Amino acid sequence: MDKKRVLICAGTGCVSSGSSKVEAKLKETIKEKGLQNDVQVVITGCHGFCEQGPLLIVEPEDLFYCRVEEADIDEIVDKTLVNNEVIDRLLFEDPQKKEKAKTFHDIDFYNKQQRLVLKNCGHINPENIDEYLAQDGYAALEKVLKNMNQVEIIEEVKKSGLRGRGGGGFSTGLKWEFTYKAQGDKKYVVCNADEGDPGAFMDRSLLEGDPHTVIEGMLICGYAIGADEGYVYVRAEYPLAIKRLQRAISQAEERGYLGTNILGTNFSFKLNIKAGAGAFVCGEETALLISIEGNRGMPKVRPPFPATKGLWDKPTTINNVETFGNIPVIFRRGAEWFAGIGTEKSKGTKVFALTGKVNNTGLVEVPMGISIRKIIFDIGGGIKDNGQFKAVQIGGPSGGCIPSELLDLPVDYDSLTQAGAMMGSGGLVIMDEKTCMVDLARFFLNFTQKESCGKCTPCREGTKRMLEILIRITEGAGSLEDIEILKKLGKNIKKTSLCGLGQTAPNPVLSTLRYFEDEYWAHINEKKCPAGVCKELVTYRINPDLCNGCTLCARSCPVNAITGEKKEVHFIDPDKCTRCGVCITRCKKGAIYLA
């Protein structure tokens, strides 16, 4: 038989779905059948298609199996690995085309992406440095150490047009230049992996799937700015990312890519890991630095900026995981090549976590300037359950909501800002017609209000007042002046807050008011939630023409709010009803509706 290589996704998503059991069973079966010399089992990082996990790819055919279980392993070994047969039921079926795909190349979710940063994720073992080296790993580092000086490196990064992928979009080359020119006997490189956005997993997946590329990017930065030490500030809730990063650091030290006199040069660099305690505000760079120093993470007034006075008051460059992941690509392929991707002011690609009411959830990487429509419908496979697209939340809790009329808006820094949103770190939450935009704004503001460090009054008190108003509106107690108060508060909080958390916290409210103000007025004037989400504004009723008296709803109601004799029309007591929705899910006739 031909030599086979089986790639099993061992990212957090697939591990939680049982991929570790699949891996163990596969290795056990291969050993039992004496196929150790014919089949190599390789764990990888996230393949990206989280909706379909656990995932398994058989090389060299690139055969793609999804939702694999332990019970499938014997069949996979006997049919696919031994006899080269395809197991049809394990193939991915496109929900729109109704076609099955044999390889991942045939799946729109993959073939419509452009993977630069995520190129190795899902294709190499992140715990084996040799697999990274086989993909030109550390070639960029060797190139800059032996052929370029500090100024040349920084100019190359500036020439590439790379902007920070953590949300601010500031020029990476300029940031490096500021630190390089800053005076100091000690300088630091810091990687911000404090990924706190709900539903975001871009940084985690890159650290889990290709940690060496982040290390290589940090090393190039350290050499360029004159730093000999760095920190990766990663959430403690990411144990697998921390484990693989620690292993990668140890391997890089053993091979001479970290430590003293790297690759026989005068450049030395030490890399540390700092596990953060999960505070969202520590994603702000000054709060992050204070946390590394061992203090409570709270933002500082800027200037001075970290580039001149950062970690322990030393010049410091801070970039996020994805930004560092782009650096080796730029030096392997060239700044001009990289700058040829994307738009005039937004170069390269962007990694997004695609979640919500979309068929194909997962991790995607697309060129800057791609339209929202192409991400959702070409890569994401459209809206779940044939629903209607309503809006997309871009940029996490501090981002904004883009409505259906802007589906063709290009995804780049400037276009999103003009539309009232922001790139953020890369969260894309898709919403259908069943989403209440007022309730959504309340949800995100509740998150940012709780995560406020409380240091400055506008953020601490202002977001609290805005949240109180939103709660009042969703409970049917809103007043006519609430809309103007929300707008005024939101604008003032953005202008006067100390850090990025407060400056962007009002975005979900302001953007939903900009595009969905009619929903706010429906809540206030009509005491009605058009989406049927806000419980205080919804009444459950039974259609007498459809009810057959089966009693399923009455038997399921946890508060005994439904009455009626068997085979007779039932009734719901609105005073007792808690609007839990159980009756709707149990009714087989569709007789219960929201009024």
Residue-wise pLDDT tens digits, 511-568: 999 999 999 999 999 999 999 889 888 888 999 999 999 999 999 999 999 999 999 9
CATH of domain 437-525: 1.20.1440.230
Q: Which residue has the tokens 């190129």?
A: 119
Q: Please indicate, yes or no, whether the overall pTM of this predicted structure exceeds 0.85.
A: yes
CATH of domain 129-336: 3.40.50.11540
Phi, psi of 76 (to 5 degrees): -65, -45
Phi, psi of 93 (to 5 degrees): -110, 120
CATH of domain 539-594: 3.30.70.20
CATH of domain 349-432: 3.10.20.600
Residue-wise pLDDT tens digits, 416-425: 999 988 888 7
What sign for the dihedral angle of Cα 342, 143, 325, 22?
Answer: positive
Chosen CATH of 4-106 out of 3.40.30.10, 3.30.70.100, 3.30.360.10, 3.40.50.300: 3.40.30.10
Residue-wise pLDDT tens digits, 467-506: 999 999 999 999 999 999 999 999 999 999 999 889 999 9
Q: In the chain, what are the domain boundaries? A: 4-106, 129-336, 349-432, 437-525, 539-594
Tokens of 532: 């049927």
Q: CB–CB of 329/351 below 8 Å?
A: no
Assess whether pLDDT exceeds 90 at residue 398: no
Residue-wise pLDDT tens digits, 420-467: 888 887 889 999 999 999 999 999 999 999 988 989 999 999 999 999
DSSP per-residue letters across 301-347 = -SSSPTTTS-GGGS-EEEEEHHHHHHHHHHHHH-HHHHHTSB-SSSB
Helix 172-181 × helix 211-225 angle, to 10°:
40
Label residue 397 by pLDDT band (50, 70, 90). Answer: confident
Instruction: Compute the residue count for the chain.
Output: 595
Instruction: Please give the pLDDT value at position 369.
Output: 96
